[in-house]
Amino acid sequence: MTAASAPVPATPKPIKFGTDGWRGIIAADFTFERVAHVASIAAHVLYKYFGEETQSRTVIVGYDRRFLSPEFARTAAEAIREAGFDVRLSTDYAPTPAFSYAAHYQKALGAIVITASHNPAAYSGLKIKGAFGGSVSPEVTQQVEAMLPHLSPPLGQPGGLEMFDPWPDYCRALQAEVNVGQIQAAIADGQLTVFADVMHGAAAGGLAKLLGQDTVHELNTSADPLFGGGAPEPLPKYLGELLETVKVYQPANPEGLKVGLVFDGDSDRIAAVDGQGEFLSSQILIPILLEHLKARRGYTGEVVKTISGSNLIPAIAKLYDLPLHETAIGYKYIADRMQESAVLLGGEESGGIGYGHHIPERDALLSALYVLEAVVMAQEDLSDLYQNLQKKTGYSSAYDRIDLPLPSMEIRAKLQHQLDTQPPEAVAGKVVTDCLTIDGYKFTLADDSWLLIRFSGTEPILRLYSEAQNLDEVHKHLHWAKDWASSIS
């Protein structure tokens, strides 16, 4: 199977940092020369923001399993070293959260990670992580962009470069947060069977390192620069093999539970599959994890959600008397909040979930361990846990989202002007009762369902999200939004 080819622009696109990093088509936008320049500038900016606090000149450099990732990482490391900084370069691929943890644990200035996360195979990317162990703020990436046209003089003589293995420290940190022995015993006794689709990405081998060899059935574990012809994104359309595998598997123990876990390309986003082979997004996992950490593990703290998160999340927060904070979409906003407040869990609908007692970073492998721990301690299937929460809160819903390509950036501007000056008073026949504009336009409707309309910051793409009582209502909202967008020309 071959991946669909992406159109190659005649000239490289400007270097812009989105919700989590800079990404571009390999050899067109994302080149060795540009990587070297961005990495060098990023090191200077990290030093400006974190140098005094850390008293360090060390930058961590890591990478995922994409095409040329090790070579891009080596180029970034050399550029940072030439700029006068010490570099610790990973000996192998690892999850992005492992490099965030390394930056924090080793008291470095931060980390530069070569990864395009869940993007298709033609892309690579670069993420910047701060000394605190999470995504840097927009202020930091804007500073990097502002400095790109200029040449920054070296901080001093070229620094040193040494290699390191990020896995051991990272695994020890995760194992300390979870009752690993209880999970291992459940697997050994046939009470639990675990499947993991690592999507040819950086989570490959991770659960085996955490739980022991031969404890997990891992799918798509080989390195494949084409990602099987798809993209390493935890969405049902890419998970046919896992869904069918979990559905038909018959445990030796008839009462044994089955769990499927899904990791994106750099293992900072997660999804799951229940015992019947049904896909479970983070809109379902976040409520399950909230109850588990509060009710079974005794954690407390603020719950942080993005505006696209399910309304079940505030319902769970209310049920367990936990404070709630809502942010714009992008985990960097959750990471910022984690540095300001005592946070229990922060999560986003796209699969990023993190924990205030760890580092302010989404971490799919830690979330996977907590999912397994919840199932083992409750002795219930994931969907049963979710349905019980719906009963406890009296709230049930369905959710979906679509990305709608627009003909041009001019059409995008017209749509935005329409929303700014003449926002809809009704959606699919339902009166709009509120509009939240901290990120896009989130319309709350008379029956407490909602529709969120957002624009891509760099492309003519309209992102549409909705939650309602059932999927029919969700799709009515989404189709209304598509028709509305098509009517503006």
Q: pLDDT (tens digit, 9 = 90+) per residue, 161-211?
A: 999 999 999 999 999 999 999 999 999 999 999 999 999 999 999 999 999
Compute the average pLDDT of residues 108-116: 98
In one-letter notation, the amino acid at residue 102 is: A
pLDDT of residue 389: 97
Mean pLDDT score across all residues of the chain = 95
pLDDT of residue 488: 85
Query: What pLDDT band is residue 7 in, cutting at 50, 70 and 90?
Result: low
pLDDT of residue 489: 66
Which residues does 122 contact at the CB level (< 8 Å), separation at least 6? 3, 5, 6, 25, 26
Query: What pLDDT band is residue 9 in, cutting at 50, 70 and 90?
Result: low
Count of residues making up the chain: 489
- The pLDDT of residue 223 is above 90: yes
Tokens of 10: 């005649």
Query: What pLDDT band is residue 217 in, cutting at 50, 70 and 90?
Result: very high
Query: What pLDDT band is residue 151 in, cutting at 50, 70 and 90?
Result: confident
- The pLDDT of residue 441 is above 90: yes
Q: What is the pLDDT of residues 398-433, one digit of tens each?
A: 999 999 999 988 999 999 999 999 999 999 999 999
Q: How far apart are CA 457 and CA 409, in angstroms?
A: 10
- The pLDDT of residue 2 is above 90: no
Instruction: Determine how many CB atoms are found less than 10 A away from the CB of residue 416.
Output: 16
Residue 114 has φ and ψ, to the nearest 5°, of: -85, 110
Which domains does the chain possess? 22-165 (3.40.120.10), 177-393 (3.40.120.10), 400-487 (3.30.310.50)
pLDDT of residue 420: 94
Report percent pLDDT > 70 for the chain.
97
Residue 462 has φ and ψ, to the nearest 5°, of: -105, 125
Which residues does 283 contact at the CB level (< 8 Å), separation at least 6? 309, 310, 312, 349, 399, 467
Query: What pLDDT band is residue 18 in, cutting at 50, 70 and 90?
Result: confident
Query: What pLDDT band is residue 113 in, cutting at 50, 70 and 90?
Result: very high
Compute the average pLDDT of residues 317-331: 95
Query: What pLDDT band is residue 150 in, cutting at 50, 70 and 90?
Result: confident
Report percent pLDDT > 90 for the chain.
90
Compute the average pLDDT of residues 306-311: 96
- The pLDDT of residue 73 is above 90: yes
Query: What pLDDT band is residue 302 in, cutting at 50, 70 and 90?
Result: very high
pLDDT of residue 458: 63
Q: How far apart are CA 487 and CA 179, in angstroms?
A: 55
> Tokens 């309309």 sit at which residue?
453
Compute the average pLDDT of residues 358-368: 97
Compute the average pLDDT of residues 36-63: 97
pLDDT of residue 3: 46
Q: What is the pLDDT of residues 371-392, one digit of tens each?
A: 999 999 999 999 999 999 999 9
Q: What is the pLDDT of residues 472-482, one digit of tens each?
A: 999 999 999 99
pLDDT of residue 152: 82
Strand duo 217-219 + 192-197: pairing: parallel
- The pLDDT of residue 52 is above 50: yes
Query: What pLDDT band is residue 340 in, cutting at 50, 70 and 90?
Result: very high
Cα 32 to chain centroid, rounded: 25
Compute the average pLDDT of residues 93-97: 98
Query: What pLDDT band is residue 1 in, cutting at 50, 70 and 90?
Result: very low
